[in-house]
Structure 1
Amino acid sequence: MLIDHLVYAAPDLDTAVAGIEARFGVRAAGGGQHLGQGTHNRLLALGPRTYLEIVAPDPRQPEPASPRPYGVDGVREPGLVGWALQTDDIERVADLGGVIDGQRLTVDGQLLRWRLTANALTAGVVPFFISWGDTPSPALSAPAGLTLESVRVEHPDPRGFAGRLRELGADVDVRTGPAPALVATISGPNGRHDLR
């Protein structure tokens, strides 16, 4: 299992970037706009092939025809809302709502394309899968300095949910919690902290 990225959604991108920098000691950069989806993002590398995506509504885009991905429309406080696992065979996991195409216009005008399972649109504690094809992982160009130490899921039914994750090949710690939640332990210049 290779975690491709974690999704941290916020109502305002600049505020979220500043908050993550204050907490962990590295400033997110890069990213760009998800044209037609009404979101924009900034990135931080968490390892050689893993990154943190900070995503928020993009005030420079018109309201999208469909809800923004990752439940961004309803986000009032920033937090981890989803996670992606890398796959070279996206069709193998197409039962997670089908496979859709994604794209992002980078800040330097390059159009990146990828394929992902449709459960990415709602995100949550069930991971979605992503295949970058010939596109290099965004982790390679995102600001470095942070390391993803671990990911865990909190769930009211940890035993049952752990079985679901194992079926998907997502081998992470599942603990009892009052509501489903993702928790990532990340280390960096400002020490080691949990991000929820």
Structure 2
Amino acid sequence: MTLDHLVYATPDLDATAAELERLLGVRAATGGRHPGLGTRNRLIGLGGRGYLELIGPDPEQEEPAAPRWFRIDELTGPALVGWAVTVEDLDAAVARARARGYDPGEPREMSRRAPSGDLLTWRLTPPRHAGHGGLVPFLIDWGTTRHPTASGLPQAELTSLTLAHPHPARLRADLESLGAPVPPLVQEPTPHLTATLTGPSGQAVLT
């Protein structure tokens, strides 16, 4: 498993993208809309097949029947709310994790249109099910779909990713049960992720 993307959720996608452009000197590319979920995204490459997903409300969609993913309806500002790792066989990865004592949730189908009009499809485990408030990653399997980074995203460097948790040993155990990479773990009272990105104009610290 390797990092697929970080999720930076926001109540105002355009404002957050503009602030990152000011800090990094990188303009996030338009991603697409998530029909029925009330969200849209913008993307910044992090090197290789990793990227940063900026996700927020889509004003051109009707209000969704259920709360938007990633606590977007609760946010008063942007927040780094989770991360995803890529797998080639999602069902097998879920079965292995459950056998080791960690349940990542039942996989579901997803899709969106890219700006080119191409339909992207993928399967993932539900982000809301990700353990420790999103510190354990959810799993994503792109199947035969062209990966978002293959379109030539604007680039920044992921300088560091740190997970903070009041009981790091418990978090490590679930990461290892999932088979996920284990970033640096620190002990702090409130669980959260911190990522540092570096671009042509400087750094941005996302929490």
Specify if TM > 0.5: yes
What is the CA-CA distance between 1:75 and the residue it aligns to?
1.4
Distance in 1 of aligned mates of 2:5 and 2:138: 10
8 A contact 1:100–1:115 mirrored in 2: yes
Unmatched runs of 5 consecutive residues or more in structure 2 = 95-102
Distance in 1 of aligned mates of 2:23 and 2:203: 9
- The answer on 1:44 being equivalent to 2:28 is no
What is the CA-CA distance between 1:139 and the residue it aligns to?
1.6
Aligned to 1:89: 89
What is the CA-CA distance between 1:104 and the residue it aligns to?
1.2
Q: Which amino acid aligns with 2:151?
A: S
- The size of the alignment, in residue pairs, is 195
What is the TM-score with the length of structure 1 in the denominator? 0.93
Q: 2:159 aligns with which of 138, 149, 152?
A: 149
Q: Which amino acid aligns with 2:147?
A: S
Q: CA-atom RMSD, angstroms?
A: 1.5
What is the CA-CA distance between 1:167 and the residue it aligns to?
1.9
Deviation per residue, 1:139-179 (Å, 9 max, x gap): 22253331112311011111221222122222111101221
Go from structure 1 to structure 2 and tell me whether the alpha carbon gap of 1:41 and 1:122 turns closer, same or farther (over 3 Å shift). Answer: farther
Distance in 2 of aligned mates of 1:96 and 1:38: 24
Go from structure 1 to structure 2 and tell me whether the alpha carbon gap of 1:122 and 1:76 turns closer, same or farther (over 3 Å shift). Answer: farther
Give secondary structure in 2 for the equivalent of 1:36.
coil
Distance in 2 of aligned mates of 1:190 and 1:151: 20
Give secondary structure in 2 for the equivalent of 1:165.
helix
What is the TM-score with the length of structure 2 in the denominator? 0.88
Give secondary structure in 2 for the equivalent of 1:37.
coil
Aligned to 2:21: 21
Give secondary structure in 1 for the equivalent of 2:171.
helix
Identity %: 45
Q: Which amino acid aligns with 2:112?
A: R
8 A contact 2:135–2:193 mirrored in 1: yes
8 A contact 1:4–1:85 mirrored in 2: yes
8 A contact 1:114–1:132 mirrored in 2: yes
Deviation per residue, 1:83-115 (Å, 9 max, x gap): 000000101233311100111122332221100
What is the CA-CA distance between 1:122 and the residue it aligns to?
5.8
- The answer on 1:191 being equivalent to 2:202 is yes
8 A contact 2:6–2:83 mirrored in 1: yes
Unmatched runs of 5 consecutive residues or more in structure 1 = none
Q: 1:135 aligns with which of 145, 153, 158?
A: 145
Deviation per residue, 1:20-69 (Å, 9 max, x gap): 11111100012010011100000010012000000001111011112211
Give secondary structure in 2 for the equivalent of 1:148.
strand
Distance in 2 of aligned mates of 1:108 and 1:114: 17
